[in-house]
Amino acid sequence: MNAKPAKPAKPAKPAKPAKPAKPAKPAKPAKPAKRRSESKQSKPTKLVKQNKPNQPNQPNQPNQPNQPNQPNQPNQPNKPVMSVEELLQRKRLMLNKAKFEKLVQLQPVDVAVFDRNFCDTMYNTFRQATTKQTAIPAKKLLGASRWTISKLPEIPGLNKAPWCLVHEERDPPGEQDVFCLEVSYKPGHWYPLDVQGVLPAEDHGTVLLGKKVAYADMTGKTELGWRGNMILWDEIPDCKLYW
């Protein structure tokens, strides 16, 4: 019996072409490192503290040795305050015969004059100084009544009369004038000595002491001035005054 011819083999299916490979994704660029200024800067390493050669651990400055008070401001107490009337009650300050006779060879000398026009002068110059709260330094207040007194030049008949003087106002400067010292013959009452240095017994019917009294016979405590007391400028107390 004849064998059947073999069936021809089926041609092989052509292979499917391979899919092209997907291109690789480009690598992301690396992030740049943060700059030091953008990140928290690390603290610099502390160096060992070195002592300055000119300041070797000085506990105190030599010019500031923990002074409790400055030498030019030693917490000075407030100046005492008094009225002009209270000042004039201090009899030890008033110019008297004993003080004046020590000054005869030391003139010219400055004095504060408390004459009968004194209050008017103070009112015109320091109108506000009328209370303790508005008191001002004594020499500032009394500057308007400051005189310089000196001996008379050699004049026949007067060169032996020390009670006759020349005065010149200081504030404002004025013309020189000749005057004779006055005597407080009783509190608050004044009368000038004459050129012979005598206080008369009376004046136009007004009894003074009732008898003549010579300068030479007056006690050292007799107060001298001009229409009121005088105080030597250097003896004015360091206080504040009001009038």
pLDDT tens digits along 80-117: 999 988 999 999 999 999 999 888 665 689 999 998 88
Residues 143, 110 contacting (CB under 8 angstroms) = no
Kind plus residue range of the DSSP H or E element containing 165: strand 164-169
Q: Classify residue 243: in a domain, yes or no.
A: no
Number of domains making up the chain:
1
| 3-class SS of residue 143 | helix
Report residue 97 as tokens: 């015969």
Residues 124-141, mean pLDDT to the nearest whole number: 83
Q: 67-81, 87-101, 160-174, 211-225 — which is least confidently predicted?
A: 67-81
Pairwise CA distance, residues 137 & 105, whole Å: 30
Whether the pLDDT of residue 234 is over 90: the answer is: yes
The Cα 226–Cα 164 span in angstroms is 11
Q: Whole-prediction pTM value? A: 0.63
- Provide the terminal-to-terminal Cα distance of the chain, rounded to the nearest Å: 174
pLDDT of residue 39: 45
Handedness of CA 71, 73, 75, 80 (dihedral sign): positive
With respect to residue 40, please indicate whether it lies within any of the assigned structural domains: no
In angstroms, the CA 210 to CA 206 distance is 9
Tell me if 208 is assigned to some domain: yes
- Asked whether residue 92 is assigned to any structural domain, the reply reads yes
Could you give the C-alpha distances from 64 to 53, 67, 71, in angstroms and in order? 20, 6, 12
Residue 61 is assigned to a structural domain of this protein:
no
In a domain, 179, yes or no: yes
CB distance 220 to 97 below 8 Å: yes
Asked if residue 227 has pLDDT above 70, the reply is: yes
Is the CB of residue 209 less than 8 Å from the CB of residue 199?
Answer: yes
In a domain, 46, yes or no: no
| Domain around 107 | 81-238
Strand, coil or helix: what is 140? Answer: helix
- In a domain? residue 60: no
CA 229 to chain centre: 31
148, β-bridge pairs:
110, 168
